[in-house]
């Protein structure tokens, strides 16, 4: 599943109607309700504030809700939900606000407009894929710094921080799938002198650029 790391927004015009899409990360239904209420207050003069949200990162235990908010049934909330689910999103809320422009769009036009606003808002968001990862540390002397940086680049390992003192300490995050390979490479590189320490196996997110995020 993917998570919203930084929400985005988008605005489209369809036959004089204005559609404003907003994407949010949420953890609970209560949070979703609060955000929807805030959006309705912000866009108090809009005709419709339609929404959909998915809570949970496990397909078998997800909560999914949507609302057409006065639009014809099936023309707004469900299309927004399909954009979220079709992109593998979890813990995500999308609200699309419509300012009516005086021209009726028909059911097909509404579905396209709400889908497009949700899709563009999601495209403008920063998202990450949920993975099993390892957060760990390695202490090296200065002669190994460049080699460690090269290894990390090779295996898409994120260097969270680098602390320089008598030795150099790297704080790392990696996909658990490359952990053993990375350990073996360290052994080869240092004849068994270098080892990872304080390793934690946790859930983390891989951003679109490959970097990892907790």
Model pLDDT, residue 200 = 95
Residue 58 confidence (pLDDT): 65
Whole-number pLDDT of residue 84: 96
**Which candidate, 98, 101, 57, places its Cα nearest to that of 79?**
98
pLDDT tens-place values along the chain, 214 residues long: 888 989 999 999 999 999 999 999 999 999 999 999 999 999 999 999 999 999 987 666 789 999 999 999 999 999 999 999 999 999 999 999 999 988 889 999 999 999 999 999 999 999 988 889 999 999 999 999 999 999 999 999 999 999 999 999 999 999 999 999 999 999 998 888 899 999 999 988 888 788 888 8
Please tell me the predicted confidence (pLDDT) of residue 142.
Answer: 94
Angle at 83 between CA 82 and CA 85, to 5 degrees: 60
pLDDT the model gives residue 60: 64
- 3-state DSSP assignment of residue 163: strand
Beta-carbon contacts of 26 under 8 Å, excluding residues fewer than 6 positions away, are 32, 35, 53, 55, 91, 92, 93
For residue 103, the model assigns a pLDDT of 85
The answer to whether 148 touches 167, Cβ cutoff 8 Å, is no
Q: Return the ∠ at Cα 136 (arms to 135 and 138), rounded to 5°.
A: 155
Domains of the chain: 2-124 (3.30.230.30), 129-213 (3.30.70.240)
Q: What confidence score (pLDDT) does residue 38 get?
A: 97
Q: What is the pLDDT of residue 139?
A: 95
Rounded Cα gap, residues 128 and 173, in angstroms: 14
d(CA 96, CA 29): 18
């Amino acid at each position: 599943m993917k998570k919203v790391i930084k929400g985005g927004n988008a605005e489209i015009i369809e036959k004089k109607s204005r559609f404003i899409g907003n994407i949010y990360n949420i953890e609970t239904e209560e949070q979703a309700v609060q955000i929807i209420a805030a959006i309705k207050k912000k866009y108090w003069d809009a005709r419709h504030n339609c929404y959909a949200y998915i809570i949970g990162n496990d397909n078998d235990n997800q909560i999914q809700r949507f609302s057409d908010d006065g639009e014809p049934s099936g023309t707004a909330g469900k299309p927004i939900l399909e954009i979220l689910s079709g992109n593998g999103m979890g813990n995500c809320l999308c609200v699309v606000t419509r300012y009516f422009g005086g021209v009726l769009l028909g059911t097909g036009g509404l579905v396209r407009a709400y889908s497009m606003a949700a899709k563009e808002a999601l495209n403008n968001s920063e998202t990450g894929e949920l993975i099993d990862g390892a957060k760990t540390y390695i202490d090296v002397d200065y002669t190994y710094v460049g080699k460690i940086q090269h290894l990390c680049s090779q295996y898409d390992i994120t260097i969270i921080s680098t602390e320089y003192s008598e030795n150099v300490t790297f704080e790392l995050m990696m996909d658990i799938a490359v952990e053993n390979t990375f350990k073996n490479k360290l052994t080869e590189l240092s004849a068994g002198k270098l080892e990872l320490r304080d390793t934690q196996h946790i859930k983390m997110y891989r951003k679109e650029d490959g970097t990892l995020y907790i």
